[in-house]
Copies of this chain bind each other. A is one copy, B any other.
């Protein structure tokens, strides 16, 4: 396969990913949680409890930024922030049950909105998409 063909696939994939996330993001309004908080909460729910530095690295923001995002999550009862047992410099941040519930509900709405669009596809198209997604998962891993 030629280089320009690879570039073309990458370009189409890029544009589609932007459109896709723009579409599903509309579902997030009903969670009542801001995008940065929702994203950080997602990392906590799927990655388990972690320190501030780890959470900041996962979200690719600086520590002070994450410190205040966590402050908001804690204030809204979506996460807890406790001193680490072993290293008292560190902080252990974890999603609360309420946080997990709200995140899962929002994510479910996103995925359902997306699945709804996939219903329009013919069976052969669904299979082609499914195989493409399998490949994509390895690409972005």
Q: CB within 8 Å of B: which of A74-122? A: 110-112, 114-115, 117-121
Rounded to whole Å, the gap between the CB of A44 and the closest CB of chain B is 15
Copies of the chain in the assembly? 2
Q: Is the interface of A mostly helix, strand, loop or mixed?
A: helix
With beta carbons under 8 angstroms apart, the residue of B11, B19, B129 that contacts A141 is: B19
Instruction: Indicate if the CB atoms of B137 and A12 lie closer than 8 Å.
Output: yes
Instruction: Indicate if the CB atoms of A20 and B140 lie closer than 8 Å.
Output: yes
Instruction: Indicate if the CB atoms of A10 and B114 lie closer than 8 Å.
Output: yes
CB contacts (< 8 Å) of A15 on chain B: these are 137
Q: Which of A22-30, A48-56, A62-70 contacts B (4 or more CB under 8 A)?
A: A22-30
Instruction: Indicate if the CB atoms of A125 and B117 lie closer than 8 Å.
Output: no
Contact flags (1/0) for A1-36 with B, using CB distance below 8 Å?
Answer: 101011101111111111111111010000000000
Instruction: Indicate if the CB atoms of B1 and A126 lie closer than 8 Å.
Output: yes
Complex CA distance for A117 and B125, rounded to whole angstroms? 24
A interface, CB within 8 angstroms of B: 1, 3, 5-7, 9-24, 26, 60, 110-112, 114-115, 117-121, 123, 125-141
